[in-house]
Amino acid sequence: MAFDTEPWWEGAVFYQIYIRSFQDSNGDGIGDLRGIIQRLDYLQSLGFEGLWTTPFYPSPQVDGGYDILDYFDIDPQLGTMADFEKLVQEAEKRQLKIIIDLVLNHTSDRHPFFIDSRSSRHSAKRDWYIWRDPAANGGPPNNWAGFEKSSWTFDRKSRQYYYHFFYRQQPDLNWRNPCVKKAMFAVLDFWCDKGVKGFRLDTINFLLEDEALRDNPIVDRVPFYLKQVLSIKQLPIYTIDLRANHDLIKAIRQHLTSNQQEELLLIGEIWVPSVRDLVPYYGEHRDEISLPFNFFLTNLDKLAAASFREAIADAEECLSPYPTTTVLSNHDLVRATTRFASQENSEAVAKLLATMLLTLRGAPFIYYGSEIGMRDRPPENIDQVQDRRGKFHWPEYKGRDGSRTPMQWDDTKNAGFTQVAPWLKLNPDYVQRNVKAQLANPDSILNYYKKLIALRQSYSSLRRGNLTLLGDDPFVLAYLREDCDDSILVLLNMSEQKSLFRGEIFERLNQKIWKLLASTHSNIAENFSSLKFNLKPFEGLVLKSR
């Protein structure tokens, strides 16, 4: 099937690598760029097309590298520029495209720009960040909050506050200043010249804040879609998602279009109240973000066909004209296996989720370790916590360490991740749940992922076809993926009981005979002449009409 006329990333399969946790190559207990290079054959053998690497820039690591102090270099803990160049080359040889994480909203407070800006009210870079006088009572200029209860930190020396949506060590850049724009565009050019194929733009709808500094309205509950980031019950209408962000995003796109020969992929981390709020981020003329992340399945924490159906229907209603993404897990969230499965049914649920992830319309983003069904392992006590959010909110919220534990490669000491004590404790289940064991087992989650990825790549309907939801069964989520070449039926029993899916009530299924392409429970190729499908608990089927 020829996909040549469409951009490579539409419907493509992506893998997210949290670098510190993927593979240590130099025996310091921290994953690094050379570690990724060592594992490229593995990544290629699974069939991934794009690799999104989390930030590798020099950083004081207050926020896992999302606090950058030099945008043009590599953190010595993670490697060198030569390692990065080698990674791009070696990835390219294996048809893997590197997408890097870029944090444009804020820098580290130890970045030379901020050190300069902070040095005096008269610094040439003062206006590169957001500085304001105290309120009449000497307190912060307004009620804005984010990772901290106030997003303003007082600087004694210059007697003004600076703004930071995230930690105080992550001051927000002032994107209304053209010099900031210019400096950050130079960063984009630098990495394009290194051969990256795109950027994952961190918190890209947080770039601008209200110029008049109006207070955010206070509400009874933290808005659900911001529960990970907001410490105060307020509606951040003056700090997130301001319309003027679009002009900046357009300017970023335009800059890339004028300076680069090939179209760069822009993935946007965009947190919004409803899926329809993502639409403007594609740009009126498709001149903004290529793939805004759709996080709406990550808001669900119970495996229930009705809630998945509703979230998928909402997304299709608004996004069907656009390419989209499917995300179930990432480095900020509890892994989907932990959210949706118990220890006992984890393997079955992991396969069921894989079936969905790889057959929905959106480009699947597979968070490292999902392919072997890795589960969260939160810190056991506050002394083990690395993620400061966990320290702040302990014990109600234990932070994000649980989903960032080292990759489980084999059952040797330290799981083949490192030779020494890892920077974050391993999940002890690595002894049973690891890549080596699963490669050897034809029925493993890993081999099932491989099979599904290959299917997605051989059927254009799975990659780019329409999606039609079927029925309203309380247990079975059913949908069709279709294009002019083929028609694929996906059945997912989201319950722990046997369920009967009565396909004969759908006229469009009737004229066809269905052949099994993949099943969570068996490898046996079957033809179904009857449209009554008896599904085992958590069984998923992918069928093709003949």
Q: Mind telling me the catalytic residues?
A: 202, 269
E strand or H helix that includes residue 464: helix 460-464
**Alpha-carbon torsion (192, 194, 200, 203), positive or negative:** negative
- Fill in the per-residue mask, 197 to 226: x = in contact with ligand GLC (CB under 6 A), - = not in contact: -----xx-----------------------
What lies within 8 Å, CB to CB, of 317 at 6+ separation is: 276
Q: How many CB atoms lie within 10 A of CB 472?
A: 10
What lies within 8 Å, CB to CB, of 489 at 6+ separation is: 478, 479, 480, 503, 509, 514, 541, 542, 543, 544, 545
Q: Which is nearer to ligand GLC, 120 or 299 (CB)?
A: 299
What lies within 8 Å, CB to CB, of 92 at 6+ separation is: 195
What lies within 8 Å, CB to CB, of 449 at 6+ separation is: 46, 354, 358, 366, 370, 371
Q: Which is nearer to ligand GLC, 65 or 465 (CB)?
A: 65
Contact set for ligand GLC, span 324-363 (CB under 6 A): 331-332
Contact set for ligand GLC, span 274-333 (CB under 6 A): 331-332
Asked if residue 403 binds ligand GLC (CB under 6 A), the reply is: no
Part of the chain binding ligand GLC (CB under 6 A), chosen from 61-69, 78-86, 217-225, 511-519? 61-69
State in angstroms the smallest separation of the CB of 19 from ligand GLC.
13
Q: Which is nearer to ligand GLC, 66 or 84 (CB)?
A: 66
For residues 292 and 278, what is the distance between their CA atoms, to the nearest angstrom?
7
Q: Which is nearer to ligand GLC, 109 or 482 (CB)?
A: 109
For residues 179 and 21, what is the distance between their CA atoms, to the nearest angstrom?
36
- Fill in the per-residue mask, 3 to 42: x = in contact with ligand GLC (CB under 6 A), - = not in contact: ----------------------------------------
State in angstroms the smallest separation of the CB of 173 from ligand GLC.
12
Part of the chain binding ligand GLC (CB under 6 A), chosen from 42-50, 58-66, 151-159, 282-290? 58-66
State in angstroms the smallest separation of the CB of 166 from ligand GLC.
4
Q: Nearest-CB residue to ligand GLC? A: 66
State in angstroms the smallest separation of the CB of 372 from ligand GLC.
23
Q: Which is nearer to ligand GLC, 294 or 520 (CB)?
A: 294
What lies within 8 Å, CB to CB, of 178 at 6+ separation is: none
Q: Which is nearer to ligand GLC, 402 or 416 (CB)?
A: 402
Q: By CB under 6 A, how many residues form the interface with ligand GLC?
A: 10
State in angstroms the smallest separation of the CB of 180 from ligand GLC.
17
Do residues 51 and 97 make contact, with C-beta atoms less than 8 angstroms apart? yes
Contact set for ligand GLC, span 237-266 (CB under 6 A): none
Terminal Cα-to-Cα distance of the chain (whole angstroms): 17
For residues 327 and 429, what is the distance between their CA atoms, to the nearest angstrom?
24
Q: Which is nearer to ligand GLC, 203 or 346 (CB)?
A: 203
Q: Which is nearer to ligand GLC, 99 or 470 (CB)?
A: 99
Specify the long-range contacts of residues 478-483, CB closer than 8 Å, at least 24 apart.
Answer: 479/312, 479/359, 479/360, 480/508, 480/509, 481/359, 481/361
State in angstroms the smallest separation of the CB of 203 from ligand GLC.
5
Asked if residue 66 binds ligand GLC (CB under 6 A), the reply is: yes
Part of the chain binding ligand GLC (CB under 6 A), chosen from 62-70, 180-188, 279-287, 377-385? 62-70
Buried b (16+ CB within 10 A) or exposed e, 523-540: eeeeebeebebebbbbbb
Specify the long-range contacts of residues 89-92, CB closer than 8 Å, at least 24 apart.
Answer: 89/195, 90/37, 90/40, 91/40, 91/51, 92/195
State in angstroms the smallest separation of the CB of 67 from ligand GLC.
7
For residues 266 and 288, what is the distance between their CA atoms, to the nearest angstrom?
8
Asked if residue 103 binds ligand GLC (CB under 6 A), the reply is: yes
What pairs with residue 455 in β-bridges? Answer: none
For residues 281 and 440, what is the distance between their CA atoms, to the nearest angstrom?
44
Question: Which of 22, 52, 84, 166: binder of ligand GLC (CB under 6 A)?
Answer: 166
State in angstroms the smallest separation of the CB of 354 from ligand GLC.
23
Asked if residue 109 binds ligand GLC (CB under 6 A), the reply is: no
- Interface positions with ligand GLC (CB under 6 A): 63-64, 66, 103, 166, 202-203, 269, 331-332
